[in-house]
C-alpha cells in the first residue's frame, strides 16, 4: 500500500485542486473512528461533511446490504424498475409526508430536480395567459450546491467566476418574513429553505418564520422546498428537519447521510406536485440504482431499529449542555438541533480545528468562526466523552 506522503503527492499531481484538503489520506473506518495512512486514529465528529452521518463508518448492516446487492444486480437502468429503490422510497415517504420520490446521487442534483419541479408545477397550476413563474426565494448563508441551478440559489461568494447565474434568484434574510412577503410576486415559483443551515454556520429559522412561509406558499400557490441534504435523516432529533416546525413542505431534498456513505440523493415531492414530472421531463441514468438504494434501505432500517431519531435528540442535547456548562471563554454561542451542533467562537475556528486534529479529533470549521460538530448518530458514549474531553481542552487551552 502507498504511504500517506505518496498518496498526498499523487493527489497534487492527478486531482483537480478544487478542494482545500489537509494533507492526510484516510484508509479505514469503523463506527465513529477513522484511521489515516500513517495509522493515526481519529474520533470522527466530522463524518465526511455529514455524509457518513447516521451509520458511522462501514456499519455492518450497511456493508452487508451493499455486498448482498453487489452479488445480485448493480444497475439495469430506469427503463425498468427495481425493488431496492421502491423500498427506499417507501421508507422515506412513510416517515415524511407521503408523496413520491426521484432518486439521484448528490444534494445539488436533488435541488436541481426540485428547482425544475417548482417551475413546472407553478406553470401547471398557474394561468396560461399570465407571466411564466420562475423566480425562487432562498436565504443568505444557505447552501444548495455547486451545479448552475443550485449555485444560483446559493450565496454570491460561491458564484464568483461562473456568472451569469440562472435568472430569478432572490436572496433574503432568514427569519425576515415581511421581506419574503414583499418579494413574492406573480413570477415567483417557490421558496427554498434549509430547516437548519449547515454550511452557513448551523442557523435555525424560527417556528413563526417557517409557519409564515408555509402560509404564504399556500396563499400564493408556491412550492415550499425544504433542503434537508445536511440535516436529515434523523440528525436534528426528528426524522426530517421540517418536523421541528410543525409544518409540511411541498418538496424535500435529501442526500449526504441517506446512503450511509454510498451516493444516494432524493427529491421527494408531496401530493401537490408528485406527478408534475412526466416521462421524458427529467432523469438521472444511475439514479436509484439497486446498489446505492440498498445502502439507503439499510440506513433507514438502522435508524428505525436503533431508535436513532431520539438518540440524536438526547445525545445532541447532552453535548450542547456539556459545552455550555464548561463555560469556555472563546465560545460565544452554542446552537443546533439534535446532533447538528454549532459553536460560534469569538475568533476564526481554523486553529481549533487543526489542534483537535493533531490530538485525534475530527471536527469542522464553517462560516469562518463556527465549529460544526456532527458525530455519527451511532457513536458510542465512550467516543463522545473522549472527543468532548479533547474539544474542551483545546478550546480552553
Ligand atoms: C443543504 C445542502 N444542500 C445541498 C448540498 C449539496 O450537496 P452535494 O455536495 O452532495 O451536491 C449541500 C452540501 O453541503 C448542503 O449542505
d(CA 24, CA 355): 15
Is the CB of residue 255 below 6 angstroms from any atom belonging to ligand 1?
yes
Tell me, in angstroms, the distance from the centre of ligand 1 to residue 144's CA: 5
Strand partners, 88: none
Q: Is the pLDDT of residue 94 over 60?
A: yes
Q: Quick one: which atom of ligand 1 is closest to the CA of 198? A: 16
Is the CB of residue 233 below 6 angstroms from any atom belonging to ligand 1?
no
Q: How many CB atoms lie within 10 A of CB 34?
A: 23
CA 70 vs CA 66, 73, 256: distances in Å: 6, 6, 21
d(CA 227, CA 199): 12
**Residue of the CA atom closest to atom 8 of ligand 1:** 107
Tell me, yes or no, if the pTM score tops 0.85: yes
CA 66 to chain centre: 22
Task: Pick from 230, 236, 242 the residue to mutate for probing ligand 1's pocket: most ligand atoms within 8 Å of its CB.
Answer: 230
- Determine the average pLDDT of the residues in 258-268: 96
pLDDT of residue 395: 98
pLDDT of residue 52: 76
**Residue of the CA atom closest to atom 3 of ligand 1:** 144
Is the CB of residue 102 below 6 angstroms from any atom belonging to ligand 1?
no
Averaged confidence pLDDT in the chain = 96
Angle between helices 308-325 and 381-396 (to 10 degrees): 30
d(CA 6, CA 39): 14
Q: Are 257 and 241 in contact (CB under 8 A)?
A: no
- Position 50 confidence tier, pLDDT thresholds 50, 70, 90: confident
pLDDT in tens, 322-374: 999 999 999 999 999 999 999 999 999 999 999 999 999 999 999 999 999 99
How many residues appear in the chain? 397
d(CA 374, CA 18): 23
Residue 319 φ then ψ, to 5°: -65, -45
CA 36 vs CA 8, 26, 147, 384: distances in Å: 12, 4, 31, 20
pLDDT of residue 126: 64
- Position 17 confidence tier, pLDDT thresholds 50, 70, 90: very high
Nearest residue to 120 via CA among 302, 256, 276, 284: 276
C-alpha cell at 363: 471536527
pLDDT in tens, 117-170: 999 998 887 655 556 899 999 999 999 999 999 999 999 999 999 999 999 999
pLDDT of residue 313: 98
Is the CB of residue 194 below 6 angstroms from any atom belonging to ligand 1?
yes
pLDDT of residue 34: 97
Tell me, in angstroms, the distance from the centre of ligand 1 to residue 229's CA: 6
Residues 6+ apart with CB under 8 A from 368: 348, 349
Q: Are 235 and 53 in contact (CB under 8 A)?
A: yes
Q: Could you list the beta-strand ranges (E) of 263-392.
A: 265-269, 331-337, 340-345, 361-362, 364-366, 370-373
Q: Quick one: which atom of ligand 1 is closest to the CA of 147? A: 11
d(CA 7, CA 22): 12
- Determine the average pLDDT of the residues in 189-193: 97
d(CA 388, CA 383): 8
What percent of the chain lies above the pLDDT cut of 90? 94
Nearest residue to 228 via CA among 97, 335, 370: 97
In a 13 Å sphere around the CA of 72, the CA atoms on its Cβ side amount to: 14
Amino acid at each position: 500500500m502507498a504511504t500517506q506522503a505518496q498518496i498526498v503527492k499523487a493527489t497534487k499531481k492527478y486531482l483537480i485542486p478544487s478542494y482545500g484538503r489537509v494533507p492526510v489520506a484516510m484508509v479505514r473506518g469503523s463506527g465513529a473512528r477513522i484511521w489515516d495512512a500513517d495509522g493515526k486514529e481519529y474520533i470522527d465528529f466530522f463524518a465526511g461533511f455529514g455524509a457518513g452521518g447516521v451509520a458511522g463508518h462501514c456499519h455492518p448492516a450497511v456493508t452487508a446490504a451493499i455486498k448482498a446487492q453487489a452479488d445480485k444486480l448493480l444497475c439495469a437502468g430506469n427503463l425498468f424498475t427495481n425493488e431496492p429503490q421502491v423500498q427506499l422510497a417507501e421508507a422515506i415517504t412513510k416517515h415524511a409526508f407521503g408523496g413520491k420520490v426521484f432518486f439521484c446521487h448528490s444534494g445539488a442534483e436533488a435541488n436541481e430536480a426540485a428547482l425544475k419541479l417548482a417551475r413546472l408545477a407553478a406553470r401547471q397550476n398557474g394561468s396560461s395567459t399570465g407571466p411564466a413563474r420562475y423566480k425562487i426565494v432562498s436565504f443568505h448563508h444557505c447552501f444548495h450546491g455547486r451545479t448552475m441551478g443550485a449555485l444560483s440559489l446559493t450565496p454570491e461568494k460561491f458564484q464568483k467566476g461562473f456568472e451569469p447565474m440562472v435568472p430569478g434568484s432572490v436572496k433574503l434574510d432568514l427569519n425576515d418574513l415581511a421581506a419574503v412577503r414583499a418579494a413574492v410576486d406573480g413570477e415567483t415559483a417557490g421558496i427554498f429553505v434549509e430547516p437548519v443551515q449547515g454550511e452557513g454556520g448551523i442557523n435555525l429559522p424560527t417556528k413563526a418564520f417557517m409557519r409564515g412561509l408555509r402560509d404564504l406558499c399556500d396563499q400564493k400557490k408556491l412550492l415550499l422546498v425544504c433542503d434537508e441534504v445536511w440535516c436529515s435523516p434523523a440528525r436534528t432529533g426528528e426524522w426530517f428537519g421540517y418536523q421541528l416546525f410543525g409544518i409540511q413542505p411541498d418538496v424535500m431534498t435529501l442526500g449526504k447521510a441517506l446512503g450511509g456513505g454510498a451516493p444516494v440523493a432524493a427529491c421527494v415531492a408531496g401530493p401537490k406536485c408528485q406527478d408534475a414530472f412526466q416521462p421524458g421531463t427529467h432523469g438521472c441514468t444511475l439514479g436509484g440504482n439497486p446498489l446505492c438504494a440498498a445502502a439507503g434501505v439499510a440506513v433507514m432500517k438502522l435508524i428505525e431499529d436503533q431508535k436513532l431519531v431520539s438518540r440524536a435528540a438526547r445525545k445532541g442535547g447532552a453535548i450542547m449542555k456539556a459545552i455550555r456548562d464548561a463555560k469556555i471563554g472563546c465560545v460565544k454561542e452554542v446552537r443546533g438541533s439534535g446532533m447538528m451542533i454549532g459553536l460560534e467562537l469569538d475568533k476564526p475556528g481554523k486553529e481549533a480545528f487543526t489542534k483537535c486534529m493533531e490530538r485525534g479529533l475530527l471536527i469542522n470549521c464553517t462560516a469562518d468562526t463556527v465549529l460544526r460538530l456532527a458525530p455519527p448518530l451511532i457513536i458510542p458514549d465512550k467516543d463522545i466523552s473522549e472527543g468532548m474531553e479533547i474539544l474542551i481542552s483545546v478550546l480552553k487551552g
